[in-house]
Amino acid sequence: MAMEKLISVLFSKFILLLLFLDVTNACGLQLGFYSGTCPNAEQIAYAVLYKYISRDPTLAPSLLRMHFHDCFVRGYKAEKEAFPNLSLRGFHVIDAVKSELEKKCPGVVSCADILALVARDAVFMIGGPSWDVPTGRRDGRVSIDTDALEQLPSFTANITELIKDFSAKGLSVKDLVVLSGGHTIGIGHCSSISDRLYNFTGKGDTDPSLDPKYASALKEKCKLGGDNLKTVEMDPGSFRTFDEGYYSNVAKRRGLLRSDAALLDDVQTRTYVQLQSVTHGWTFAQDFGASMIKMGSVGVLTGNQGEIRKRCAFVN
């Protein structure tokens, strides 16, 4: 009787395990997808990327952002000309990785997977966390510039709009605040914050949510009527290092963009910001990897869907 009960319990746990595996692989991605068709795919991508990042670490935030944009919309070529994507850099890096993989494993590794792997490795190369990237994505056959305009979260969005945009992609409020932490690296343009500094409500005023000292410092760099292409650091003092400094700045009302400041307007996002600020990023690295994996599964094409592009900028 005891043995039958034990067998029954083990069988139940086995069924639960199968259900769990089915859920985790529901999107069709898996670790080591290329182990049989291109065993060294990840190592090849890493080696090519390292040549670029070692010479220019500032490419890392652009490559991370590129993966983010790719997850929220569908294509590549037409979307590159969409307004939110005009400031993206690093397409040549993706093309270089693709070219090398095509030499070793022609027609096997998708551009979508390359973006996911490069984003992970770029973050790691500048001191950030690493995470396992499930692969098996296929490339889309559709690329429309208006998709980027309509689907990418805006840097001027308030917290309600941000939560709605992320929810539409199956991402939680926690994913929103965690992935916002990617702003710990990179730069922003004066044009993106001009209204916050000089004309927030149309009356020549400054955004009251900005720390006054920080606003004054920004005005020194971004003069009224000055060069809108001039840049400022997203995370002053450590914008080239992937760390928790972003949350410390946001907690002090020193988030550069409206969308950064908005994280203080919701109890869940505000609590997370304060936790990472006080604990010096206690869970940030782990959380970021988990949310990146989740984001990397948004709207993926697998199996016989889509295609494997020969050149990332063009549908076959």
Mean pLDDT for the stretch of residues 7-16 = 36
Per residue in 180-237, pLDDT (tens digit) is 999 999 999 999 999 999 999 999 999 999 999 999 999 999 999 888 789 999 999 8
Using DSSP, state whether 138 is helix, strand or coil.
Answer: strand
Query: Which of these, 308, 249, 278, lies nearest to 108 by C-alpha position?
Result: 308
Q: Is residue 248 a contact partner of residue 263, using CB atoms and an 8 Å limit?
A: no
Residue 125 has pLDDT above 60, yes or no: yes
Q: How far apart are the first and last CA of the chain?
A: 63
Look at phi and psi of residue 155 and say left if phi exceeds 0, alpha if psi is from -120 to 50, else beta. Answer: alpha
d(CA 11, CA 22) in angstroms, rounded, equals 17
For residue 301, what are the β-bridge partners?
A: 138
Using DSSP, state whether 54 is helix, strand or coil.
Answer: coil
Q: Is 67 among the catalytic positions?
A: no
Choose the catalytic residue: 69, 92, 183, 189. Answer: 69
For residue 189, what are the β-bridge partners?
A: 231
Per residue in 237-264, pLDDT (tens digit) is 888 899 999 999 999 999 999 999 999 9
**For residue 117, how many C-alpha atoms fall within 13 Å in the half-sphere facing its CB?**
30
Residue 78 in tokens: 């037409």
Other CB atoms within a 10 A radius of the CB of residue 268 amount to 15
Residue 16 has pLDDT above 60, yes or no: no
